[in-house]
């Protein structure tokens, strides 16, 4: 089939874009899952959509392609462009504009055969299509909410949905198009708005989440319906996706590691699991789940012991995590850091120069990266998961070794001299 910059299926390009953006060090030969032709086509498409962000580098293994975006300088998520590349037929686009030209106001209501006649007359009969194609298109548009059908006796009348005035919402759509879930939908609305100055930029902005927008939208729809879903999930240790039946309970979005997880009740295993949205490839909405409210209540309760995305329905067997930090007299901002960054647990003052953080959590290992950010001032650790505590200590020993830190422990002063400033 001849190359086109438009695509029918988003799944394939989703995987390539992730590779180009997240990693970007693979050469053409390593994209072995698909044929070389497929790689060339996908690369060409991404270049057509995102040429400004595409970079190339030459290595011994060949030419590498990658995407590099400083998301702080972009007012609009560039990845949204991929969602605007759906292919269509010549008939699709012609019928689309003809139908809405004839149904130009909500008051105009026509039957299918009247619409056929009107289209013939509008396009001078040069455009051939059959009634069933138009009927199918109208059915599709009715599901999308842009066409309304109404029965009048035995006749079915078609009209356009009333317009909604969004002309005042330019800034709202710009802001939430980048910060709300499924922001790409805001971008679709923005495309219809008059050109305007963009007032917002965004920091700590993980644009790659845009690639999972359809999965997120389907899961939200299922949650609104309190329904079960069947998803195809490619676990980290699996070669191919497996089908799982779940009750989706909440999507957990990270602003620090770029990931989005679905927390769901796994019906077969009778427990909560978290699933990476970027590993889910297909969502089918099933029947309503009677236990939805009860399960969500349980998740709400579990959140008291969740640092990240690992939760359990039963609150037994939590792990205790405790560590002390020392602060100099002028380092109150460290206490503020503990307070604002903790997601559960508590901060206590031990004395003027020492503070303790403690929490009971489901999974100690989820907290380790955060605790490491206090390296330079940790004076005491006490994890009930001894293995985790020992690993933490072993890792720090390894870091001493990596950076050639000599053993010199005699100077145990309260003035850490670590951070010279707070993080903004």
By CB under 8 A, what part of segment 274-293 binds another protein?
Answer: none
Q: Which helix (H) or strand (E) holds 30?
A: none
Contact between 150 and another protein per CB under 8 A: no
296: contact with another protein by CB under 8 A:
yes
168 binds another protein (CB under 8 A): yes
- 87: closest CA among 140, 154, 10, 27? 10
Cβ proximity to another protein: between 157 and 396 the closer is 396
Q: Are 155 and 111 in contact (CB under 8 A)?
A: yes
Q: Is 62 in the site for another protein (CB under 8 A)?
A: no
- Cβ atoms of 13 and 45 closer than 8 Å: yes
Bridge partners (DSSP) of residue 137 are none
Binding of residue 345 to another protein (CB under 8 A): no
Contact call for residue 155 and another protein (CB under 8 A): no
Sign of CA dihedral 279, 283, 221, 192: positive
Is 204 a binding residue for another protein by CB under 8 A? The answer is yes
Cα–Cα distance, 52 to 412 (Å, whole number)? 52
| 68 in contact with another protein (CB under 8 A) | yes
Give the interface segment with another protein, choosing from 32-40, 52-60, 109-117, 149-157 (CB under 8 A): 52-60
Stretch that binds another protein, among 35-43, 313-321, 345-353, 403-411 (CB under 8 A): 403-411
Stretch of 34-42, 55-63, 107-115, 227-235 contacting another protein, by CB under 8 A: 55-63
Q: Is position 342 an interface residue for another protein (rule: CB under 8 A)? A: yes
Give the pair of three-digit tokens for residue 113. Answer: 């055969």
Binding segment for another protein among 35-43, 109-117, 138-146, 264-272 (CB under 8 A)? Answer: 138-146
Q: Please, is 45 exposed, middle or buried when counting C-beta atoms within 10 Å of its C-beta (0-12, 13-18, 19+)? A: buried
Using rule CB under 8 A, residue 411 touches another protein: yes
2 binds another protein (CB under 8 A): no
Residues contacting 337, CB < 8 A, separation 6+: 422, 423
CB atoms within 10 A of CB 273: 19
57 binding another protein? (CB under 8 A): yes
Of 32-40, 109-117, 202-210, 265-273, the window that binds another protein (rule: CB under 8 A) is 202-210
Do 311 and 362 touch, CB atoms closer than 8 A?
yes
User: How many residues does this entry show for the chain?
Assistant: 424
Q: How far apart are CA 135 and CA 144, in angstroms?
A: 14
Stretch that binds another protein, among 35-43, 178-186, 265-273, 355-363 (CB under 8 A): 178-186
Task: Give me the least distance between CB of 245 and another protein, in Å please.
Answer: 19
Is 271 an interacting residue with respect to another protein (CB under 8 A)? no
The only residue of 132, 152, 255, 270 in contact with another protein, by rule CB under 8 A? 255
**Shortest Å, Cβ 248 to another protein:** 9
As a whole number of angstroms, the distance between CA 43 and CA 66 comes to 10
In the 8-state DSSP scheme, what is residue 403?
A: T
**Which residue stretch of 33-41, 143-151, 265-273, 345-353 sits at the interface with another protein (rule: CB under 8 A)?**
143-151
How far apart CA 326 and CA 324 sit, in angstroms, is 7
Alpha carbon distances (Å) from 222 to 24, 253, 348: 34, 18, 42
- Rounded distance between C-alpha atoms, residue 351 and residue 324, angstroms: 11
Q: Which is nearer to another protein, 10 or 320 (CB)?
A: 10
Q: Which of 214, 240, 210, 272 is nearest to 77 (CA)?
A: 210
| Cα separation values, 101 from 12, 118, 131, 134, Å | 35, 10, 18, 14
At its nearest, how many Å lie between another protein and the CB of residue 154?
27
Among residues 267 and 414, whose Cβ is nearest to another protein? 414
Q: What are the helix (H) ranges across 26-145? A: 36-50, 90-102, 112-122, 131-144
Interface with another protein in residues 78-117 (CB under 8 A): 81, 83-88, 90, 92-94, 96-98, 100-101, 104
Cβ of residue 243: shortest distance to another protein, in angstroms? 19
Task: Compose the 358-397 pattern: x for residues touching another protein by CB under 8 A, - for all others.
Answer: ----------xxx-xx-xxxxxxx----------xx-xxx
The least CB distance from residue 390 to another protein, in Å, is 10
Q: Is 408 in the site for another protein (CB under 8 A)?
A: yes
24 binds another protein (CB under 8 A): yes
Tokens of 73: 């300088």
């Amino acid at each position: 089939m001849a190359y086109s910059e438009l695509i029918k299926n988003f799944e394939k390009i989703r995987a390539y874009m992730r590779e180009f953006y997240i990693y970007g060090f693979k050469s053409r030969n390593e994209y072995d899952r698909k044929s070389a032709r497929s790689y060339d086509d996908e690369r060409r498409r991404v270049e057509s959509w995102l040429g400004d962000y595409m970079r190339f580098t030459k290595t011994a293994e060949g030419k590498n392609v990658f995407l590099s975006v400083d998301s702080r300088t972009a007012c609009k998520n560039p990845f949204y462009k991929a969602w605007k590349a759906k292919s269509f037929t010549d008939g699709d686009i012609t019928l689309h504009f003809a139908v809405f030209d004839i149904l130009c106001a909500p008051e105009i209501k026509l039957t299918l055969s009247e619409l056929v006649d009107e289209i013939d007359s509008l396009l001078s009969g040069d455009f051939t299509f059959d009634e069933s194609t138009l009927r199918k298109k109208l059915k599709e548009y009715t599901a999308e909410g842009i066409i309304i059908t109404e029965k009048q006796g035995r006749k079915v009348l078609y009209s356009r949905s009333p317009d909604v005035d969004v002309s005042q919402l330019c800034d709202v759509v710009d802001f939430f198009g980048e910060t709300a879930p499924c922001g790409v939908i805001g971008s679709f609305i923005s495309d219809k708005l008059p050109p305007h100055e963009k007032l917002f930029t965004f920091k700590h902005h993980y644009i790659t989440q845009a690639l999972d927008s359809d999965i997120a939208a389907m899961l939200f729809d299922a949650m609104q319906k309190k329904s079960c879903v069947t998803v195809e999930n490619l676990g980290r240790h699996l070669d191919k996706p497996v089908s799982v039946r779940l009750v989706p309970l909440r999507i957990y979005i990270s602003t620090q590691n770029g990931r989005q997880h679905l927390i769901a009740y796994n019906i077969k295993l009778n427990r909560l699991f978290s699933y990476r949205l970027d590993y889910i490839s297909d969502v089918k909405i099933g029947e309503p789940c009677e236990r939805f409210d009860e399960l969500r209540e349980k998740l709400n309760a579990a959140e008291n012991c969740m640092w990240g995305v690992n939760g359990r329905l039963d609150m037994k067997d939590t792990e205790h995590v405790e560590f002390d930090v020392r602060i100099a007299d002028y380092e109150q901002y460290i206490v503020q850091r503990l307070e604002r960054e903790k997601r559960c647990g508590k901060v206590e003052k031990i004395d003027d120069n020492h503070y303790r953080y403690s929490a009971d959590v489901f999974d100690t290992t989820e907290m380790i990266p955060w605790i490491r950010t206090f390296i330079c001032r940790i004076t005491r650790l006490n994890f009930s998961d001894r293995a985790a505590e020992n690993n933490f200590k072993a890792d720090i020993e390894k870091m001493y070794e990596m950076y050639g830190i000599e053993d010199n422990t005699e100077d145990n002063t309260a003035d850490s001299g670590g951070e010279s400033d707070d993080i903004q």
